[in-house]
């Protein structure tokens, strides 16, 4: 592998096994590029991958990489971020895992606001298992699991995150790499739970939400004059009923992080603290 010194981009023939043209390549490239330009060394970052096509990037990022159980990457990453809060902790998940199996973890992470970055590769279906409908599949969308069309309305993860007061809420698009990299940089710089939903076309199973389909609808929030500190306006843009799909930073707020709230972390990361267990305290109050 060689690194282009001017762009920090890797030239390599060793690439993940995604289908040619898959939107997962964009996030993979964006993340590696951001880690390089922000000088986050491999030993300073932990990336937790969920299960799915999105998870298949796990062997291709120069950092500590882990695979979580399906839908469970956020609590695993939270544990890592508490054990060593010096690490930049990042979660990569598919929309099925994030908004189906892992939806409860998403909402509780928003509440506790751990200092980590959560990126969801939203291809609007379960891709690795060959294209079943997910919580973000469009109503009426025909898939192998919904042959007559999805009957439910799609979940709106951006509106959900804003309504729950997530401290950083953004949406990116796999077809706009520099823009996506800006959102990832912002998320890594943010203190708290930084959430980015990424439109990630699955070129094999999703013939509805294609790159071309997105290019017609994508609008950049910063070009629309959006103020990310304005929560009511962020909410309005998230639920707007017109066909436009805004991307960019919807909302950002400063809230105490989970790490801030835990006195045990004040002397420094747990991994640096002496491992002492005072067993007598277990029996306090017992006769
Ligand atoms: C608890 C659990 N349920 C189901 C599966 C089977 N499974 C593996 S990958 C996958 C689809 C993943 O879809 P998504 O999370 O959207 O990620 P994508 O493949 O689209 O990136 C499923 C259902 C599993 N591994 N574990
Ligand atoms: S099935 Fe879809 S999401 Fe999975 S690698 Fe292929 S194009 Fe990408």
* Residue with token string 């609808």: 217
CATH number of the domain that 117 lies in?
A: 3.40.50.970
| Atom 24 (ligand 1) nearest CA | 70
Beta bridge partners of 249: 170
Task: Confirm if 43 and 64 have CB atoms less than 8 A apart.
Answer: yes
| Atom 2 (ligand 1) nearest CA | 70
pLDDT at 3: 58
The angle, 0 to 180 degrees and rounded to 10, between the axes of the packed helices 24-37 and 177-189 is 50
| Atom 2 (ligand 2) nearest CA | 202
pLDDT tens digit sequence for 10-69: 666 778 899 999 999 999 999 999 999 999 999 999 999 999 999 999 989 999 999 999
Task: Confirm if 103 and 29 have CB atoms less than 8 A apart.
Answer: no
Residues with CB under 6 A from ligand 1: 51-54, 70, 94-97, 101, 121, 123, 126-129, 134
pLDDT tens digit sequence for 200-215: 999 999 999 999 999 9
Task: Confirm if 61 and 94 have CB atoms less than 8 A apart.
Answer: no
Q: Which letter, b or e, does each residue of 50-60 get, where b requires 16 or more Cβ atoms within 10 Å of its Cβ?
A: bbbbbbbbbeb
pTM exceeds 0.75: yes
Considering every ligand atom, which ligand is closest to the CA of 16? Answer: 2
| Atom 8 (ligand 2) nearest CA | 22
Task: Confirm if 96 and 66 have CB atoms less than 8 A apart.
Answer: no
Sorted by sequence, the CB contacts under 8 Å of residue 250 that are 6+ apart come out as 158, 162, 169, 170, 171, 221, 226, 228, 234, 237, 238
Helix, strand, coil percent values for the chain (each to nearest 5):
35, 20, 45
Q: How far is CA 165 from the centre of its chain?
A: 16
Considering every ligand atom, which ligand is closest to the CA of 95? Answer: 1
Atom of ligand 2 nearest to the CA of 53: 4
Task: Confirm if 117 and 85 have CB atoms less than 8 A apart.
Answer: no
- Report CA dihedral (35, 38, 39, 43) to the nearest 10 degrees: -40
Per the model's pLDDT, the better-predicted residue between 267 and 72 turns out to be 72
Average pLDDT over every residue of 216-232: 96
For residue 212, the SS3 value is: helix
CA of 10 from ligand 2 middle (Å) equals: 22
CA of 69 from ligand 1 middle (Å) equals: 9
| Atom 22 (ligand 1) nearest CA | 129
User: 222 is in which domain, residue-wise?
Assistant: 2-283
Please check the confidence at residue 287 and state whether its pLDDT lies above 60. Answer: no
Output the CA–CA distances (angstroms, integers) from residue 189 to 193, 215, 274, in the order listed. Answer: 11, 28, 29
The total domain count for the chain is: 1
């Amino acid at each position: 592998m060689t690194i282009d010194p001017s762009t920090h981009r890797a030239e390599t023939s060793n690439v993940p096994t995604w289908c040619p043209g898959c939107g997962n390549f964009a996030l993979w490239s964006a993340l590696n590029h951001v880690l390089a330009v922000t000088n986050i060394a491999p030993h300073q970052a932990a990336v937790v991958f969920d299960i799915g096509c999105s998870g298949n990037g796990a062997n291709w990022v120069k950092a500590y990489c882990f695979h979580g159980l399906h839908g469970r990457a956020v609590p695993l990453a939270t544990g890592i971020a508490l054990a060593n809060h010096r690490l930049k902790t990042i979660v990569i998940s598919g929309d099925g895992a994030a908004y189906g199996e892992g939806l409860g973890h998403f909402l509780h992470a928003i509440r506790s606001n751990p200092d980590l970055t959560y990126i969801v590769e939203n291809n609007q279906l379960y891709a690795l298992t060959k294209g079943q409908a997910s919580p973000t599949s469009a109503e009426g969308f025909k898939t192998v699991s919904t042959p007559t069309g999805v009957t439910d309305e799609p979940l709106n993860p951006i509106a959900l995150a804003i309504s729950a007061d997530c401290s950083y809420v953004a949406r990116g698009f796999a077809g706009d790499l520099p823009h996506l990299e800006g959102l990832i940089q912002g998320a890594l710089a943010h203190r708290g739970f930084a959430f980015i939903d990424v439109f990630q076309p699955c070129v094999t199973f999703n013939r509805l939400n294609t790159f071309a389909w997105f290019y017609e609808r994508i609008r950049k929030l910063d070009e629309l004059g959006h103020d990310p500190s304005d929560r009511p306006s962020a909410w309005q843009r998230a639920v707007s009923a017109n066909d436009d799909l805004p991307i960019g930073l919807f909302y950002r707020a400063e809230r105490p992080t989970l790490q801030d709230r835990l006195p045990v972390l004040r002397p420094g990361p747990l991994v640096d603290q002496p491992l002492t267990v005072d067993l007598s305290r277990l029996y306090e109050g017992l006769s």
